[in-house]
Amino acid sequence: MIDLLERSSVEVAPLLLGGLLTVDAVTLRITEVEAYLGEADPGSHAFRGPTKRNSVMYGPPGHLYTYFTYGMHVCANIVCSPEGTASAVLLRAGEIVEGVELARARRTTSRTDVDLARGPARLCVALGITLDDGGADLGGRFGLMLSEAPVAHESGPRTGVSGQGGTSDYPWRLWIPGDPTVSPYKASVPKKRADRDQFLISP
């Protein structure tokens, strides 16, 4: 398993589709992922080099890289590539195949089971992954089992990634076509500049 994860995220991403990720008593079948290629990727947290925040990405493969998005949601990535090279695959969506009742209890706003892990933040809530799980290895309460055979998939630009990294030059969002748990694609929306007289931002 670790040998496979020592490849780049672009190579690992399709291998994760159809795989099973188990966290404690809940198991997810992975249906959508996004690859991020470190310092060679303008969409990656590691594009500008090592920081305290992205240090896990530079560590050994087979660990989780977690982070906050929009200051409130947790997202989880599987670290790839040899130690010292930042590369990770974002877990975007999946189907809960075991532990559905527990996932429902965590995701009380989901109207259907299809929506339990339909998006990276929902996925983390359903599986019980928190920011504190950053750096955890795929062992103990985490278990990953890859599909025995390659799963047919489609690819396209990554969701919500701004700038060059969100273009068709980076078709590193991969998903299982026709699967209802795949999240809807959303292109990045450029932020409007706030009125300088209305908002003052400290340096």
| Full-model pTM | 0.89
Structure-token pair, residue 199? 């908002």
> Could you tell me the pLDDT band of residue 182, with boundaries at 50, 70 and 90?
very high
Phi first, then psi: give them for residue 160, nearest 5 degrees: 65, 15
pLDDT tens digits for range 147-163:
988 899 999 999 888 77
Position with higher pLDDT, 199 vs 168: 168
> Closest Cα partner for 85 from 52, 60, 114?
60
Q: Which domains are delineated in the chain? A: 2-175 (3.10.300.10)
- Residue 36 and residue 87 in contact, taking contact as beta carbons nearer than 8 Å: yes
Position with higher pLDDT, 97 vs 139: 97
pLDDT of residue 108: 96
Position with higher pLDDT, 17 vs 4: 17
pLDDT tens digits for range 106-133:
999 999 999 999 999 999 999 999 999 9
- Quote the CA–CA distance of 197 and 148 in Å, as a whole number: 59
Q: Is residue 62 classed as helix, strand or coil in its secondary structure?
A: coil
pLDDT of residue 166: 76
